[in-house]
Amino acid sequence: MNQTTYNHLKELIEDSGLTRSKTTHLKPIQIIDFSNETILITGAAGSIGSELAKQLLACKYKKLILIDIAESPLYNVIKAFENENLTNVSFLLINIKEEDELKHLFETHKPTIVFHAAAYKHVPLMEVHPYEAVKTNIIATKSLADLAIKHEVKKFIFISTDKAVNPISVMGMSKRIAENQLLQLAKTSNTLFSIARFGNIIGSNGSVLPIFIKQIESGLPLTLTSPTVTRYFIGKHKACSLILQLATFNKMESHVFTFNMGKPIKLKDLADCLIDFYPNETVEIKITGLRLGEKNEESMIANDEFLVPTRNDAIFLVKEKLENKYNNLDLTNLINITPYISPQEIKNTLLTYI
């Protein structure tokens, strides 16, 4: 690992706020004027959703609606924000898989901008529970998008993942299908659909960094899937500030966007750098092998895609070489799946859409 990589990793680890280091390199939150907007965030108790909400509290907005199905995490967000100057903020316990709940939500609160961050994201778990991935990541996303169109939402920003690129996992496939579905819906609607596709959020819930830290502080070896496995990483603060920037793009065309993630990072380098934060600890590294659905390395764009610069040098437009690729994406086979179908059969159905 060269010094540049080490310094970059050190900054990412410090900015995560998870270590004993008090150093921070976070830039001030950029104030954006959403004065006329009623903003809905799904998955508001998650890493991305809660950070989006935190940054929006510093902005001007008409109303902020924060929804999640996870009761305790949503309560934690409420407690975390209780000392903020909260004006016109609603915290709602809502399951996005329940269409009647979503209909009532849109009819009651009339959002004008939607940040859709709710999703199942853990790759090995979704390999075992593909029914849940389909119903949450694909079908619920379509329900939200349909309601957004019906209620004339101006902008719908969908949080995707690099695992949707050349996907081999259920999670990656479900997010790629959701991307394609939104792009298809956009062709006949006035709602602007923007898709934010990026890599791993350093320090997010359930991600590798907090797991490594817990293992070190518990005196356990670091479990590393492979010494050669690489991932793209971005700080939560930076990712969410760029997501908010997407909501200011005015060109009325729906697109996939990705962020300047830098070079992919070896998890072995991340582990070695983190160990330096604990000079008094003796830390071993245990190689466990790739888990179900995992790749050794990820990509930000597929072979049939290319990047185009935008007005923001940290944001790129992802363009397809083949236009109108998804004109007839019919989700009927996925809508009709049941929990009684085997995981492999469901995955085989997903493969027909890729």
- Does residue 247 form part of some domain? yes
Q: Are 140 and 97 in contact (CB under 8 A)?
A: yes
pLDDT for position 206? 79
Instruction: Check which CATH number belongs to the domain holding 194 and give it.
Output: 3.40.50.720
Q: What is the DSSP string of 83-118?
A: TS---SEEEEE--TT-HHHHHHHHHHH--SEEEE--
What secondary structure letter does DSSP report for 58? T
Give the model's pLDDT for residue 279: 87
144 located within any domain: yes
The answer to whether residue 216 is domain-embedded is: no
CA nearest to 146, candidates 331, 291, 336:
331
Any domain includes 325: yes
| Token pair 């007005």: residue | 311
What pLDDT does residue 203 have? 81
- Give pLDDT, residue 323: 66
Predicted pLDDT at 29: 75
**Block mean pLDDT (10 aa), the chain, length 354:** 81 75 60 95 96 94 97 96 88 97 98 98 96 98 98 97 96 97 92 94 86 92 94 92 92 83 92 89 92 94 91 92 71 94 97 92
Q: How many domains does the chain have?
A: 1
Flag whether 274 is in a domain. no
- The Cβ of residue 248 has, within 10 Å, a number of other Cβ atoms equal to 13
Taking the C-alpha atoms of residue 126 and residue 292, their distance in angstroms, rounded to an integer, is 9
Angle at Cα 68 formed by Cα 198 and Cα 170, nearest 5°?
45
Write down the pLDDT at residue 325.
61
Tell me the catalytic residues.
163
Q: Does 192 reside within a domain? A: yes
Beta bridge partners of 155: 113, 192
The alpha helices in 151-254, defined as continuous H runs, are 170-186, 208-217, 236-246
Helix or strand holding residue 231 (H, E): strand 230-231
Which of 133, 144, 131 lies closest to 98, judged by CA?
144
**CA distances in angstroms from 43 to 57, 123, 148, 232, listed in the order given:** 16, 18, 16, 22
- Confidence (pLDDT) at 168: 96
Q: Which range of residues forms the domain containing residue 312?
A: 119-206+232-263+300-351
Return the C-alpha torsion angle 92, 141, 112, 66, nearest 10.
20
- Asked if the structure places residue 38 within a domain, the reply is no
Task: List the one residue out of 196, 205, 240 whose CA is nearest residue 49.
Answer: 240
317 in Cβ contact with 255 (< 8 Å):
yes
Q: Which among 165, 110, 127, 190 is positioned nearest to 318, based on CA atoms?
A: 165
Residue 246 inside a domain? The answer is yes
Give the per-residue pLDDT at 87.
Answer: 84
In the 8-state DSSP scheme, what is residue 123? H
Cβ within 8 Å of residue 353, ≥6 positions away: 173, 177, 180, 329, 334
